[in-house]
Amino acid sequence: MQQPSAGQPRASVPAVTSRAVLVWRRMRRQPLAMAGLAIVALLFAMAYLMPHFIPWRYDQLDTRAFLSPPSAAHWFGTTQNGFDMLALTLRGMQKSLVIGVLGALVATGLAAVVGAFAAYFGGWLNTVLVGVVDLLLVLPAFLIIAILSPVFQGRTWLIFVLLLAAFQWMITARIVRGLTLSLKEREFVHAARFMGVPGWRIIFRHILPNMASLLIVDATVNVSSLILAEVGLSFFGFGVQPPDVSLGTLIGDYSGAALTFPWEFYFPAGFLVALVLSVNLVGDGLRDALDPDAGAGRGT
């Protein structure tokens, strides 16, 4: 009865299979999710390895090939200045991947910490944190990041990632807060508290691990939302700043050329959609694998 038995309902069965193994097995049974995972891995490898094997760098001009269509020398063609489209696309994909993964970790981590601390400690901390969540939900994220874009102009793009993440965690924090409110009345949390374990350690050891599946799925969903948010902002020049490129700036810069020089637009746009689509497929598969009782057709 005192056992923390939330995650293992059949603890008496002798051969215990670990949860990760179970989830992985369920995941492998979903062809679409596995395809998504493979494509994400492939795009990751492409973005970080391929630049070492192609002859052009993303900031290097080929002055003998302006606006050349895809050819043997330039697989994805070149721009009007002679930039190699393949190198640009790979560089942009690196940026989009980093923004998505890093931003998602920050956003989900923030949501978990804020939600759990607000609910566990209650009192004035709860009032303040709930107020912050409400306020950030009311502020239009696009507008605020756009206003602040001069701040990260010429400085590190990390500020941009943090800003994107800062507007991405509030709804999850609300869910975490609700779950924590019910978890903190459970026996294993009481037991830990009566033994003198400090509150912050109870949160990290006992409360947050109990909602791991929610947090994992949330992080995956955040990856694709953040990549899409970056595109929207960079399209209007409020995101990643030149001379750096991201898939968003490429799509923004070359959207006007889509009819006349299609390779400038369709390569970055195509890779972006492929990336987000496969991340979404992985997220959907993870959700089903972590929570097989929920209906198969949950929304993203």
Partner 1 sequence: MLKFLLRRLAYLVFLVVVATAVAYLLAATQLNPRSRYEGRNPPPPEAVVDAALDAINMNDKTPVLQRLDRWARGVLHGDFGRTIDNTPVNAEFGRRIFVSLRLLLVGSILGMLLGLAAGAYGAVKQYRVPDRLLTLFSFVVLSTPVVVLAVLYKNAGIALNNALGFTGDTRLLYTTGEITPGLATWSWAGVQDRLAHMVLPSLVLITAAVAFYGRYQRSAMLDVLGSDFLRTARAKGLRRGQALVRHGLRTALIPMATFFAYQFALLFVGATFTEKIFGWHGMGEYFVDSVTNNDVNSVAAVTLFVAVLVLVAGFLSDLAYAILDPRVRV
Residues that bind partner 1 (CB under 8 A): 134-135, 137-140, 142-144, 146-148, 150-151, 224, 228, 231-232, 235-238, 251-252, 255, 258-259, 265, 269, 272-273, 276-277, 280-281, 295-300
**Minimum gap (Å) between residue 137 Cβ and partner 1:** 7
**Minimum gap (Å) between residue 151 Cβ and partner 1:** 7
Q: 133: closest CA among 100, 178, 102?
A: 178
**Minimum gap (Å) between residue 299 Cβ and partner 1:** 4
**Minimum gap (Å) between residue 88 Cβ and partner 1:** 16
Distances (CA, A) of 246 to 47, 89, 96, 129, 194: 12, 8, 6, 33, 52
**Is there a contact between 276 and 97 (Cβ–Cβ < 8 Å)?**
no
Q: Give the span between the Cα atoms of 275 and 259, in whole angstroms.
A: 23
In the complex with partner 1, the residue whose CB is nearer, 112 or 245, is: 245
**Minimum gap (Å) between residue 73 Cβ and partner 1:** 27
Distances (CA, A) of 231 to 83, 102, 116, 145, 209: 21, 16, 31, 13, 33
**Is there a contact between 275 and 45 (Cβ–Cβ < 8 Å)?**
no
In the complex with partner 1, the residue whose CB is nearer, 39 or 54, is: 39
In the complex with partner 1, the residue whose CB is nearer, 145 or 183, is: 145
In the complex with partner 1, the residue whose CB is nearer, 20 or 138, is: 138
In the chain, which ranges are continuous DSSP H helix?
19-28, 31-49, 85-121, 123-138, 141-148, 158-166, 170-183, 187-194, 199-202, 212-235, 247-254, 262-290
Neighbours of 300 (CB within 10 A): 12
**Minimum gap (Å) between residue 286 Cβ and partner 1:** 15
**Minimum gap (Å) between residue 256 Cβ and partner 1:** 9
In the complex with partner 1, the residue whose CB is nearer, 189 or 221, is: 221
Q: Give the span between the Cα atoms of 34 and 42, in whole angstroms.
A: 12
Neighbours of 9 (CB within 10 A): 8
Q: 32: closest CA among 291, 294, 286?
A: 286
In the complex with partner 1, the residue whose CB is nearer, 6 or 151, is: 151
Residue written as token pair 């960079």: 234
In the complex with partner 1, the residue whose CB is nearer, 84 or 284, is: 284
Q: Give the span between the Cα atoms of 58 and 51, in whole angstroms.
A: 9
**Minimum gap (Å) between residue 258 Cβ and partner 1:** 5
In the complex with partner 1, the residue whose CB is nearer, 82 or 232, is: 232
